[in-house]
Amino acid sequence: MPRQPVSSLPLEAAVPMPPVSSARFAIGDIVRHRLFDFRGVVFDVDPVFANSDEWYDAIPENARPRKDQPFYHLLAENSDSSYIAYVSQQNLVVDDTDEPVDHPAISGLFEHYAGGRYKLKPHHRH
């Protein structure tokens, strides 16, 4: 029996793809964590989980987000410090305070804050 060339197989049969939801937030948006007291500005988006298994396994099992959703890299802040956060879409909401984020790395990535969001510097756009 001759083998069917891969190119003639339906795409679903050749490469199974996980379901992916659309990104709700864009680079420059200010968001707040749904459960923890911090907020931040989005500086990158992964369409699905793209961190290490060790990072994921460190999250308590009852609080682990699904991997098949967008994950956001944030320049984050809380009342004590500034840091980088990696957060699932299900755990983010729009920050409606209309206040800028006070993170030392913002000036390296963004031009200015206006209308509740940051504008990415032209040389960082692709």
One-letter identity of residue 114: A
17-124: which CATH architecture?
A: Roll (2.30)
Would you state the structure tokens that stand for residue 116, as one six-digit string? Answer: 């509740």
pLDDT score of 43? 97
Question: For residue 113, how far is the Cα from the chain centroid?
Answer: 20
The answer on pLDDT for 25 being more than 80 is yes
Interatomic CA distance for residues 90 and 92, integer angstroms: 6
Structural domain boundaries of the chain? 17-124
* Residues 45 and 20: beta-carbon distance below 8 Å: no
Q: Which of 2-6, 104-108, 111-115 has the lowest mean pLDDT?
A: 2-6
pTM as predicted? 0.81
pLDDT of residue 37: 95
Considering only residues 52 and 16, tell me which one the structure prediction assigns the higher pLDDT.
52
Q: What is the mean pLDDT of the chain?
A: 87
In angstroms, the CA 33 to CA 93 distance is 6
The tens digit of pLDDT for each residue in 28-81 reads 999 999 999 999 999 999 999 999 999 999 999 988 999 999 999 999 999 999
What is the rounded distance in angstroms from the CA atom of residue 18 to the CA atom of residue 114? 36
